[in-house]
Structure formats: structure tokens, C-alpha cells
Amino acid sequence: MKKVKTWQAYRLFLLLLSGLLITGCGDGGKTGHWLPRDTSIPRVTSVVPPVNATGVAINTKVTASFTEVMDPATINTATFTVVQGTTAVPGTVTYSGVTAVFTPTDNLAASTTYTATITTGAKDLAGNALAANYTWSFTTGAAADTTRPTVISTDPANGATGVATNKKISATFSEGMDPSTVTTATFTVAGPGGTPVTGTVILGSTTNIATFTPTDNLAASTTYTATITTGARDLAGNALAANYIWAFTTGAGPDTSAPTVILTYPADNATGVAINSAVNATFSEAMDPLTISTATFTVQASGPPLGPVLSGTVAYVDNIATFTPTDNLAASTKYTATVTTGAKDLAGNALVVPAAGGLPKPNPWTFTTGIGTTAPSAVPLGTAATFGIMATSAITNTGNSTINGDVSLDPGTSMTGFPPGVVNGAIHINDSVSAQARADLLSAYNTAKGLAPDTTVGTADLGGLYPSGIPPGTYYSGSTMNVSTPLTLDAGGNANAVWVFQIGSSLTTGASVSLANGAQAKNVFWVPTSDATIGVGTIFYGTILAGRDATAVTGATVNGRILAGAITAGTIALQTSTVNVPAP
């Protein structure tokens, strides 16, 4: 028999993967059977930077993820391009998992709009091309990204017990990662005695969730250790500061329970929905991010008959899938949203889709837009968005504080306590970057203060006023505002929900703030005219835009930003505190 050439073997492998040829279909493998050709059209499901993003780091890579595995030979600089105006950006293109990465040869220009395109030359393994070119734009900021990524959650969690033996292991990062650096070399799982578990590693379509899939089920009642090394890097090339290690123990057997959709936004039969709304589905458990895409989550005009599927992107984080249309929804129009059984949990169980009106939530579900009103968006921070702390007079630290983000001081020269404090980002003191960030802080402060308030809350404790959770909105107090009992920000399933707290005097917290049902730290803004004090050992979410000073007392964790001195000379004082800039 003639020896099969390498390229021929590879081609046969691609055919098998694409479902064109299967052998032994129920007849003992005696014959080969051709299945119907795969004619499913691949689509772009997620891009980084996001569509119309601003303040993008000048050293970023550009990514596009697809609804299915693509033919690597068709993903190249001819089918994935980035231009500024009509000038092509030189660079290289790589492909891994379901994600294509364009790496510019040099940093992008600051404060410049770029357009990226995936052409119809990109094809899946069966030879199906994109239906049309996919094009999106983004605008850079003033500086490079020097903030190290962090692991913000894992599934199973550290110390978890009773973990299903057929479960995949996932880790969520603070930002998008470079797929070529998140592999079985940097994401490993080991059993007793350090025995390695064989498996595969792949990033989800939004490139911030990595999933390790064991080749075989894990052993029952056994402790495993997972590790992500510093070889894992973000799209700007920044590595984790240290290896991230966690452990979990399996239970007696596999997970066979199917996931369900437990919450939707907009709700079923909702009316008057804002035309700039994204559509969200919350699941009963963690899902396999590779199964959450524009192939399994669609939105279309209800008809009858149903209209074409809307163009858009799909993101998945914290058990919530978000479909963001490329363009605003049409006014006074009924839409149908659907999540299909192609969506699966981390054990491979397919979503249960109830009949119309079934429980726990209808799927598909419908909603109707209003006459053209838009929902409030997050306060634009401009170049200030990359900063964990920013002051306009002085910064002091005592103890082992950590800033996972950039630091700015402008004007002023007094920054003390670093070390022992650690900054996993860039430090800008009285330079062009800090000057622009200071201007953007003032602009953000004025924008937030200028919003029309939805609710006046007085000086009462927010946690006491809203014991069941505070819904999105703009809240105003002409005096102080405090959180002395735990406060939950409840998005009701809307991952784009925004909170703005306008405070006439000072903000003080003595209890923790938490997020629920899709709330995100990046969409929460606290705006005291004077000072902010985050209490001892508390956990806090959101960006502080303080008119003057801010203090994070011993052991406080701020999942957001502390930006002080918007309208007068402002200081920041940290005491063994942690600040984590939220994912964009």
C-alpha cells in the first residue's frame, strides 16, 4: 500500500471532523457511509475589541471568534484585515480553537479609528463560507495596556466538593486572553501525586473563559489540582503575575441534570423595551462557553413569519448569555429570542427547552420595543477607564495593597508606600497620559452629576432601604449616602443595567456591596461631591468618581476603580486594600 502523504491524511482528518465521512454506521464498520453534506453557514459570534469600542489599548491584538471550527487554511491576512481609513495595518494572523487573532506588526496609533474585516474567504471545515463580510470598527485610546490579567473565578470553585466526574474545568479571566497562550501547557489538571490529567484546552468565543476538557471522566471521590501558569497572557501580551492554583474534590458520579433558562431580559411579553437593549438569558448553572454563540442564541422579528436572524455578537459570563445586536432594534416591533438545545452545560448536558409558557421560563420568549426610547448607558470614562486609582494631589499606602490596573497622579508628586504596595499596571505621574486621564475624569464626573435622577433616597442606609436588592437607576442624595447593611445590586437579568449614585456630600460604607442577576461592576458609578470611605474588610463594586478624597480602609476590596479629585485637589489613602479594574 502506498504511504499516505501528510497533507492527504490531514485532509481526511478535516473531512471526518466536518461530518462528511463516517465509517461503520451500525454495520460493524464493514462499509463507509456518506452523511448529508454540512451546509451550515459559519458566523462571527464575538469580536475583541467589541464593536464601536473606545479607549482601546494601542498594543492590543484584534480577535474574531466563530460559531464553529474553521478551516485554518482560510484564516489569514487575506481574509482577516485591519485598516485605518484606506491604509492596511501590517500584521500576522493566527488561528486557535474557534478564534482568529490579528497581531499588528507595531502598536496602533493613539486616538485613531480602525476597521477590521473578516471576508467570505473564511470557511468552515466543510467548505462553507461566511454569508457576507463581517466588518466592525473601534477607536484606540492614548496608551498601551500594561495591566496584568487575573483569574477572577473558576468552576469548580476552589475547595468545591461533590464535583461531577464528567465535568469540564473552567477559569474566567479579567480580560480577553491570547488563545495561543492558553493551552494544555499553561492550563493543567493533576490528580493524586501530581498525576497529570489528559485533556484539551480551548478559549470561549469572548476569549476570557478557558475550558479544560478531560479525555475521560475524572475518578470518583478524588481531589484534583488545577493550575494556570504565568505563560497565559492577555491580548496585549501581559502575563499573569503568578501561577493560579486551585483544588476540588469529585463526588460519586457524573452530572446528568439538564440546564434551563431561569431568567430573561427583556422578560417574556415585555413591552416598551428600549431600542438599544441587549437580550439576555440566565442559566441555572455554568454553561460550556463554546456552545453559547450566535448559532445557539438568536433574535429575530416575530412576524409571522419570523424575520431573518439579527446580526450581532454573543458574550457569556457568570451564567448569563448576552446577545448584542449590531444595530439598534426597530421601534414598536415584536421580537422573538431563542436559545437552542445546542447550548450545553460543562458536563455536556443539553439545555431543556420548555414548550411555550412552560417552566421555569418560556424559551423562545417575545418582547416588544417602544416608540424609540433608549436605555441609559454606562458613564463614559475615556482614558480613565484603565486606572485602578487616580488622584490629583497625593497617593499614600500602608501595608500590602494591590492595584490590578494602572495608577495616575496628576498634578502632584507624592506617591508613597509602593512598595510594599504592588501595581500590576503602569504608573503615570504628571505625564501626557495622566493629564488626559485627569481631563476625562472631570468629564465623567460632570456627566454623572448631570443625569436626571430616577429616585431621591435622602441620607438613609441604602442596604436598609432596599433589603431585597436595589434595581438599576440613578439615585440622588443631597447629603451623605451610606451602606451600613449589606446592599445587593440586582440587574433582574439585564447584563447592561446601569446604576449611578449621585451624592451631595460623602459616601461611607461599613458593609459589603454585592452583585446579582447580571449586574456588572463596570456599570456601577458612585459620585460623591466630596469624599468616599470604603469600610474595613468590606467588598465593594463600582467606580468611585470622587470630587475630593477617597480612602480604602484595612482589608477593603474594590472591584472597580477609585478616581479621586475630580473637582478639587484629591488624595487617595490605601490600607492593605485591593483594587481590581473590571473587565471592559
Q: Has residue 7 been placed in a domain?
A: no
- The pLDDT tens digits for 533-575 are 999 999 999 999 999 999 999 999 999 999 999 999 999 999 9
Same domain, 495 and 562: yes
Domain of 237: which CATH number? 2.60.40.1220
Does some domain include residue 256? no
Q: Provide the pLDDT confidence category of residue 316 given band limits of 50, 70 and 90.
A: very high
The x, y and z cell numbers of residue 458, run together, are 435622602
Specify the 3-state DSSP secondary structure of 563. strand
- H or E segment to which residue 95 belongs: strand 91-96
Same domain for 109 and 130, yes or no, is yes
Query: Is the model's pLDDT at 532 over the cut of 60?
Result: yes
Residue 417 and residue 558 in one domain: yes
- Pair type for strands 244-250 and 160-163: parallel
pLDDT band of 35, cuts 50, 70, 90: low
**Does the pLDDT of residue 492 top 60, yes or no?**
yes
HSE of 259, CA atoms in CB hemisphere, 13 A? 27
3-state secondary structure of 445: helix
Domain boundary among 92, 114, 140: 140
- pLDDT on residue 16: 47
Inside any domain, residue 32: no
For residue 576, the SS3 value is coil
* % of the chain beyond a pLDDT of 70: 93
Query: Residue 321 has what pLDDT?
Result: 96
The answer to whether residue 32 scores a pLDDT higher than 50 is no
Cell triple for residue 109? Answer: 496609533
Domain contains 24: no
- Other Cβ atoms less than 10 A from the Cβ of 536: the count is 12
CB 189 within 8 A of CB 196: yes
E strand or H helix at 32, and its extent? strand 32-34
Contacts (Cβ under 8 Å, ≥6 apart) of 85: none
CA–CA separation, 480 and 464 (whole Å): 15
The confidence score (pLDDT) of residue 487 equals 98
Any idea what DSSP says for residue 70?
B
User: Given this model, what pLDDT does residue 55 score?
Assistant: 86
Tell me the average pLDDT across 311-315: 92
pLDDT score for 584: 77
Whether 75 and 205 share a structural domain: no
User: What are the backbone angles phi and psi of residue 565, rounded to the nearest 5°?
Assistant: 85, 35
359 and 437 both lie in a single domain: no
Residues 205 and 133 in one domain: no
Q: What confidence score (pLDDT) does residue 373 get?
A: 85
Please state the pTM of the whole predicted model.
Answer: 0.86
Asked if pLDDT for residue 518 goes beyond 80, the answer is yes
Is residue 507 within 8 A of residue 530, CB to CB? The reply is: no
Query: Quick one: average pLDDT of 197-221?
Result: 94
User: Of how many residues is the chain composed?
Assistant: 584
Check whether residue 387 and residue 493 sit in a common domain: yes
| Residues 344-397: tens digit of each pLDDT | 999 999 999 875 455 667 899 999 999 988 888 999 998 899 999 999 999 999
pLDDT at 50 exceeding the cut of 60: yes
Give the CA count within 13 Å in the CB-facing half-sphere of 14.
Answer: 16
Indicate whether 192 and 285 sit together in one domain: no
Q: How many CB atoms lie within 10 A of CB 480?
A: 17
pLDDT for 31 equals: 43
Average pLDDT over residues 469-488: 97
Mean pLDDT, the chain, rounded, equals: 91
Residue 27: is its pLDDT beyond 50?
A: no
Looking at residues 422-438, what average pLDDT do you find?
94
Q: If you ran DSSP here, which 8-state letter would residue 533 be given?
A: E
Domain count, the chain: 4
pLDDT > 50? residue 23? no
Residues 252, 6: Cα–Cα separation, whole Å: 43
13 within domain boundaries: no
Specify if 464 maps to a domain.
yes
Pick from 420, 287, 417, 405: nearest CA to 346? 287
CA Rg value for the chain = 25
Q: What is the pLDDT of residues 123-173, one digit of tens each?
A: 999 999 999 999 999 999 888 999 899 999 999 999 999 999 999 999 999
- pLDDT tens sequence across 60-77: 999 999 999 999 999 999
Please report which helix (H) or strand (E) contains residue 465, including its range. Answer: helix 462-465
Distance of CA 329 to the CA centre of its chain: 23
3-class secondary-structure state, position 420: coil
Domain coverage including residue 71: 44-140
Residues 522 and 548: beta-carbon distance below 8 Å: no
Query: Strand 394-398 to strand 334-339: parallel, antiparallel, or no bridges (unpaired)?
Result: unpaired
Q: Are 574 and 421 in contact (CB under 8 A)?
A: yes
Task: Among 88, 105, 140, give the residue marking a domain's end.
Answer: 140
Last-in-domain residue among 219, 250, 281:
250
Mean per-residue pLDDT, 187-208: 94
By the 8 A CB rule, do 463 and 511 touch?
yes
Of 402, 430, 434, nearest to 418 by C-alpha is: 402
pLDDT of residue 359: 60
Residue 4 is predicted with a pLDDT of: 43
What is the strand order of the sheet 209-214 is part of? 151-155, 169-173, 209-214, 199-203
567 and 511 belong to one structural domain: yes
pLDDT score of 412: 86
DSSP 216: S
HSE at residue 223, side-chain half, CA atoms within 13 A, is 7
pLDDT digits (tens, 9 = 90+) for 263-311: 999 999 999 999 999 999 999 999 999 999 999 999 999 988 899 999 9
Together in a domain, 177 and 64: no
Note whether 473 and 349 are same-domain residues: no
Q: How many CB atoms within 10 Å of residue 401?
A: 23
